[in-house]
Structure 1
């Protein structure tokens, strides 16, 4: 092997290539993190999500939540912070009674509703209307009344 590379030179080349690859990986990772314009917002969202989840009593989810799930968790509302009640909503008494009967009652007293194929509580409610008609207030009051978590 006088004309080619000997064993020591090959090992040296592989070590240099490995070190170069590792350095390149960490350099690119550092650049992406440094140049990411949403880095600060992501960090704040993660901290909000962790605070909210700990307030709700959820402890083991931090390790299993990915970045997308943490950003969604940061948008959750703490039930104790909802300050809207049914008395704050005016003029929608028929809607309020329907929601109390179809949504809140099955959540509060599930033993009254025997599981059957024909009669089940609704799986959701669609609130629609123009801006300012009270959809968000109804949703907040429903969540507070039902004791949603």
Structure 2
């Protein structure tokens, strides 16, 4: 597959969208990637990333055709991370992230942190990979 754009992702069939998500996470260095379709515009999953001798479990959620990620989306990913005993969460979107979602991503206290990749960062990353 050649380079993929955000516009193309929004028009993919669900199988193609899931395959892209799996390949993309592998390209980012995640292993043991498992994904499931939550709805036609949202795929959730988990995987591990190794940094030297340390391994971290992540949960991720891929949103497409949603203009903005909300605080509720952040909470949903954090709840999934808690249920699966993940160390961190990652939300990737073809849209933007609200201020409330960003604020909720790293609250004070003992909460699982959530990172984001919005349409701008996602586009930059997709440009680097031609085989996904």
The TM-score normalised by the length of structure 2 is 0.23
The TM-score normalised by the length of structure 1 is 0.21
Q: Which has the larger radius of gyration?
A: 1
More helix by percentage? 1
More strand by percentage? 2
